[in-house]
Chains A and B, each alone.
Chain A
């Protein structure tokens, strides 16, 4: 093939190459093998993978070697004739015993690593990880810090009206931050359907099942950003709830914890004061885009019947249904995909988003919900 043709092929395959590189940056270093990862366990997993890979190669060489040698050296055209015998006890015992020994030899190191994976004792930090449709929520149990981690990739990139970034679909607004050199225990569960928390570089993939708590752990040596995705089909947003783990030095971790506490305090303070309509609408639009638009759609039209429309119909335009509206946002709606946001969003966010839903897209109810009202509702429960 001429040089020119190769160049043309190269140019034509450019979009594919870019896509491959982007995808591979998520989980592999070379794109050809699984990642070595950044934890002791992930290195052991990689070692096991390579050990077993080479055992397979050795078996393949022996088996196919004998097979092809026999096919070629004893072919009919050279006058070979088949041996006529059956039942050879020695051979039968050998071909049973040899694979068994190989399997046991592989199981010994694998079991040793599995035992380490399951040892969640003596953890320094416990984080409750909850899967939602379609975001993760992290709660630092010892430190009173909790937050949602939402997809940060802009809609324009997903719909192709904007060039895709390097971390397309594997970037979040708030990453899970952990200190290096400390054992992090994850307690995994889910709020709605089964999800799975998967970060290849940490060699962690664990199901998050509603009503049950699974445990796993990891300990990162080097600071860095490690990305992953949900690994159990959980609905139409399954590809849009990535995981981002930022490992930082213990000093930076302490600073981060402090900033999270300060932000939470500022948020709580905001609930006490009177908000203007413009403020509510602005905050509401941002909150809606992050938490509501995945189901109810950015234009409020929803995807009926699973996700009802909010624009121009239903409780968000019914002047008498303001109380129902608040109740549904706070407590969810059982038997449907509508989650309860009362415990997870701040009163300011909830007040703002209800105000937004009742006044956006031509829903002109004029209703204005103040954070203090929501605060009072939550406290009276």
Chain B
């Protein structure tokens, strides 16, 4: 039944032209603008999946560069500096640009259908969440062409390698992490609002499918974690540009602050 309605919706939205007499001629934008301003959860889901696929190829080609160089010991094709940029960008792109958007794309497609909702609870916010991503990753990829190259400190960006000793493009890297983080938070809010408010009448939480449950939990985790990550990269930004000492022991940094990602997402450096 769900697939029937989805097909009908796709046909209605993709044909765009009048299907029901001239009175219903398409009011919406056409061409590329149709995709830019779409609020349809399946179209946005497809955009997410397409974006994820593109990022998979971009990040994957970086992995190929890494493996080509490692094919034999010694330096063959690229220099260590560029190698580190490749490992860092590969990690960031695969985690934030390929895996997460793929999962969000599936959520956009599946959640409304599985709980019997007509669309996501906040369709325009949904559109905005998606379009933040190409901007974020456009900025991130552009750092490769900046003076001094892109981020080269590993995807866990431990300070001070990622602050004092980082290339000048690091502020752009931080900007892109902020944007990707905002995208994730808004997406998570949207998913929670949809699951809590738009379930079909009579559907209790315990009636929901496992997929919807995993996304409900994941959305709460994202809301808990992303602001911490945003705080961490903001501290880096302050250390780099405004002379603060969040990650500088000489300026009074505490032990848990002396590494960035570990300070927020794992406690490895704190316990070592």
A residues at B contact (CB < 8 Å):
15, 19, 22-23, 133, 157-160, 164, 168-169, 192-194, 206-207, 209-212, 214, 232-240, 303-306, 335-337
Contact = CB atoms under 8 A, between A and B. Distances in A.
B261 to A, nearest CB: 12
Contact of B81 (A209, A303, A335): A303
A232 B158 contact: yes
A174 B200 CA distance: 73
Interface in B55-91: 72-76, 79-81, 83-84
B19 interface: no
A166 to B, nearest CB: 12
B249 A211 contact: yes
B153 interface: yes
Given A19-B72, A160-B76, A306 B167 contact: yes
B84 A233 contact: yes
Interface in B154-183: 154, 158, 160-161, 164-165, 167-168
Given A194-B259, A207-B272, A305-B167, 16 more contacts: A19-B73, A168-B73, A168-B74, A192-B160, A194-B158, A194-B269, A209-B258, A209-B259, A209-B269, A214-B272, A233-B153, A233-B154, A236-B84, A237-B80, A337-B164, A337-B165
Contacts of B84: 233, 235-236, 238
B165 A133 contact: yes
B253 interface: yes
A212 B252 CA distance: 11
Interface string B5-48: 00000000000000000000000000000000000000000000
Contacts of A168: 73-74
A24 B83 CA distance: 23
Contacts of A306: 148, 165, 167
B156 to A, nearest CB: 8
B147 interface: yes
A234 B161 contact: yes
B165 A158 contact: no
- For the complex of A and B, the 7 pairs showing the least CB-CB separation, nearest first, are A211-B249, A236-B80, A193-B161, A233-B154, A236-B81, A160-B74, A207-B272
A192 B161 CA distance: 8
Contact of A305 (B80, B152, B168, B249): B168
A242 B127 CA distance: 50
A31 to B, nearest CB: 15
A154 B79 CA distance: 16
Contact of B161 (A207, A211, A233): A233
B250 interface: yes
A211 B258 contact: yes
A15 B253 CA distance: 48
Contacts of A240: 80
B264 interface: no
A159 B160 CA distance: 29
Nearest to B87: A233
A277 to B, nearest CB: 34
A79 B147 CA distance: 70
A42 to B, nearest CB: 18
B124 interface: no
Contact of B250 (A159, A211, A337): A211
B76 A211 contact: no
Contacts of B248: 211
Given A211-B258, A236-B84, A236-B152, A193 B272 contact: no
